[in-house]
């Protein structure tokens, strides 16, 4: 059972069909096995109160257990699963992840402090290479700032959670395209260089359309992913070549 390997896990079961009275259920040849497995859960749900009452009566008559009709719970072998009807609030409580919140706040402070050093480093590197700072931002900086998103997406795919990967991609793109310009413009006008308008922005539009078209079948195959990588390599090479 799950509880043997993960005793800290909270297991819930919703019974989607009517539960009979004890007399009818006693005809079932696997009555003990069914009840024993169900009572291994922490929360058992039924559609209506009558089904809930039938289950409690069944556990009381056919199993060595103690039924608490006030709390709608069954005590057996140290476990106390709660039996609820559809629509009632579950009493299961979750603990707010204060540790995760502190880590998030500390990370935000670190990013804020590192932003100043990042800008200074970009300017220094650009002056040494005699190239516009926007080129460094377009290549090295953009790669560095998106590596965490790449790591999160790879982890999500390996864990069988592609929705997290896609949400991470779309969320970061929409945030970068809408929120960052909107927030930054509040501190001063954003001057867009002509060479970005002539090449980088059209590539951004084409990449967005390409992503939209390739996801119409609700998946991105390895060959389609390779196409994205080739397109990115073309973009970087053209951007660098335009300043050499």
**Which of 53-57, 190-194, 206-210 is predicted least confidently?**
190-194
Q: What is the mean pLDDT of residues 187-197?
A: 82
Which of 9-13, 36-40, 142-146, 182-186 reaches the highest mean pLDDT? 182-186
Determine the Cα–Cα distance for residues 71 and 88; give it in Å rounded to an integer.
12
Whether the model clears a pTM of 0.75, i.e. scores above it, the answer is no
**Which of 60-64, 106-110, 240-244 is predicted least confidently?**
240-244
Q: Is the pLDDT of residue 91 over 50?
A: no
Q: Is the pLDDT of residue 131 over 80?
A: no
* Proportion of the chain above pLDDT 70, given as a percent: 86
CB atoms within 10 A of CB 83: 27
Give first-to-last CA distance, the chain, whole Å: 64
Q: Is the pLDDT of residue 139 over 80?
A: no
Q: Is the pLDDT of residue 197 over 50?
A: yes
In contact, 28 and 66? CB cutoff 8 Å: no
Q: What is the mean pLDDT of residues 121-136?
A: 73
CB-hemisphere CA count at 13 Å for 201?
8
The answer for residues whose C-beta is within 8 angstroms of residue 120's C-beta and 6 or more apart is none
pLDDT value for 83: 60
State the sign of the Cα–Cα–Cα–Cα dihedral 208, 210, 212, 214: negative
Higher-scoring residue by pLDDT: 97, 215: 215
């Amino acid at each position: 059972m799950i509880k043997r390997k993960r005793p800290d896990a909270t297991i819930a079961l919703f019974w989607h069909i009517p539960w009979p009275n004890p007399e009818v259920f006693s005809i079932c040849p696997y009555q003990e096995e069914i009840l024993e497995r169900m009572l291994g859960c922490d929360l058992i749900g039924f559609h209506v109160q009558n089904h809930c009452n039938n289950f409690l009566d069944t556990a009381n008559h056919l199993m060595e257990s103690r039924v608490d009709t006030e709390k709608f719970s069954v005590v057996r072998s140290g476990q106390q699963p709660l039996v609820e009807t559809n629509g009632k609030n579950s009493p299961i409580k979750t603990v707010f992840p204060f540790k995760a919140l502190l880590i998030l706040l500390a990370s935000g402070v670190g990013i804020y402090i590192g932003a100043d050093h990042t800008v200074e480093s970009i300017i220094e590197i650009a002056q040494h290479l005699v190239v516009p700072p926007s080129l460094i931002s377009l290549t090295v900086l953009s790669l560095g700032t998106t590596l965490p998103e790449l790591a999160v997406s790879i982890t999500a795919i390996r864990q069988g959670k592609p929705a997290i990967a896609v949400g991470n991609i779309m969320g970061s793109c929409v945030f970068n395209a809408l929120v960052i310009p909107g927030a930054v413009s509040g501190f001063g006008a954003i001057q867009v260089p002509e060479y970005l308008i002539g090449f980088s922005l059209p590539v951004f539009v084409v990449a967005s359309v390409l992503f939209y078209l390739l996801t119409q079948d609700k998946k991105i195959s390895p060959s389609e992913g390779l196409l994205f990588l080739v397109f990115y390599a073309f973009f970087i090479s053209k951007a660098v070549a335009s300043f050499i």
